[in-house]
Amino acid sequence: MSSKICKFCGREYKTRGKSFCNKECEGKFRTKYKIKQGGPIKTMLDRVCLCCGKTFSPVHSTNKYCSKTCAGKYRYHNLEDKCFIDKRPKERSIEHRRKLSINMAERMKNTSCKTKGVGGIREDIGHYVRSRWEANICRILKENNVIYEYEPDVFHLIKEDGSTISYIPDIKISSNYYVEVKGWETEKSKIKTKLMREQNPDIFILRIEEKEYKYLLKTFSSKIDKWEFDKRHGR
């Protein structure tokens, strides 16, 4: 293989059918050639971010935001952005959410995942729940004449990269008071909890975990006829 001289840097190299030693020299040579010939040179002027107002240098001609975080925040909060509204998660009816929950419970029965619970409609409480724990918490509320709703609201939380993630608390007591029943927690649910606390500080969520559930079990299981026991907390 014969040696060649790079057209741009003048370095000697060995290759076939090439005029440049590498892609970098080829790009620089073509850019320099265009300038000499009076060809078009694209220049990007600084712009002001539509979200935070900071001046930035765009990479592409279509860039309107300085970062993905600003893009996500602006598109989520700006109702005039019709392109984003069309892509936002649509609010589902209670009946639709109930059917989705039932289908999910049926699929989870055939897996070894820890999240599989005894999901289904309980006649005594009158609606669908995902697990025995949720059913028993609803029974406690009914026993104490507390009015509640099961999974009525969806919160769209913004992640650090600008994308959104949905969070649905289990039980709604009032406009700013919810109950979340958690037998165990995944990394994804930890992220949702953190984002919910940061982005909705005026909303209080009571978390019922293993320790709290054991106390409720000891207090109410003997008072409620249709209390559901599991293997860990059997009679």
Render pLDDT for 151-186 as a digit per residue (tens, 0 to 9).
899 999 998 888 888 999 999 999 899 999 987 778
The CATH number for 200's domain is 3.40.960.10
Token pair of 87 as six digits? 């892509």
Number of structural domains in the chain: 3
pLDDT tens per residue across span 35-48: 555 555 556 678 88
Beta carbons of 64 and 78 less than 8 angstroms apart: no
Domain of 212 in residue numbering reads as: 131-220
Q: Does residue 59 sit in the same domain as residue 19?
A: no
Q: Does residue 155 sit in the same domain as residue 212?
A: yes
| Of 58, 53, 23, 56, the residue nearest 42 (C-alpha) | 58
Q: Does residue 9 sit in the same domain as residue 72?
A: no
Reported as a pLDDT band with limits 50, 70 and 90, residue 208 is: very high
Q: Does residue 55 sit in the same domain as residue 33?
A: no
pTM: 0.52
Residue 56 gets which letter from DSSP?
E
